[in-house]
Amino acid sequence: MKKKILFAALLLVSTAAVVSAQPRSVGLNLGPWTSLSYQHGFGEANMLDVAANIILPFNGNFGVGGHVTYDWIDPFNAAVPWQERGEWHWYMGVGGSGGFVFGNTGGFYAGVAGHIGIEYDFWFPLQLSLDWRPSLGVADRGGKVGFNDGGLWGPLSLGVRYKF
């Protein structure tokens, strides 16, 4: 019994140490699909990006949704060459997205999501980025389930995040 408790305590402490050692950021992506964004780094080369989206009213439609992507930072060892006091990085990733749209063409959507962007990490805990999040999958528009390619033309968004 004591071995199990000791093992559980050791596992808890080591998990907390690994999680606290990873860089994280939280903030907003501003654009027609405004979202609350959370990024969790896995070392220097990978991160998990989770966003809760609010689709602002456009053509009589509005909605809520989200996406999760696993991103590779500076893939192909192609770092942005100019580094001043902060650091430039670019990233790309893949994951899933889904949500509900209300209004003229109300319904749901779900599918595969992509993520590509460039970011500048300041020397203080602020990060700015320019992101594009295309998605492709199925959608229900007014009772008709079909192919959703509207997410391919998703807008660019400006990310403003606090790093901790």
Residue 11 lies in a domain: no
Tally of CA atoms within 13 A in the half-sphere of 65 that contains its CB: 27
What pLDDT is recorded for position 144?
A: 81
Identify the DSSP state of 155.
Answer: P
Residue pLDDT, tens place only, 67-122? 999 999 988 777 666 667 888 889 999 999 999 888 766 788 899 999 999 999 99
What pLDDT is recorded for position 63?
A: 87
Instruction: Report the chain's terminal Cα–Cα distance, integer Å.
Output: 38
**Nearest-angstrom CA–CA distance, 161 and 125:** 8
Residue 79 lies in a domain: yes
CATH of the domain at 41: 2.40.160
Residue 58 lies in a domain: yes
Q: How confident is the model at residue 10 (pLDDT cuts 50, 70, 90)?
A: low
Residue 9 lies in a domain: no
Q: How confident is the model at residue 29 (pLDDT cuts 50, 70, 90)?
A: very high
Domain region containing 112: 23-163
Overall number of domains in the chain: 1
**What does R_g of the chain's alpha carbons equal in angstroms?**
19
Tokens encoding 126: 């602020």
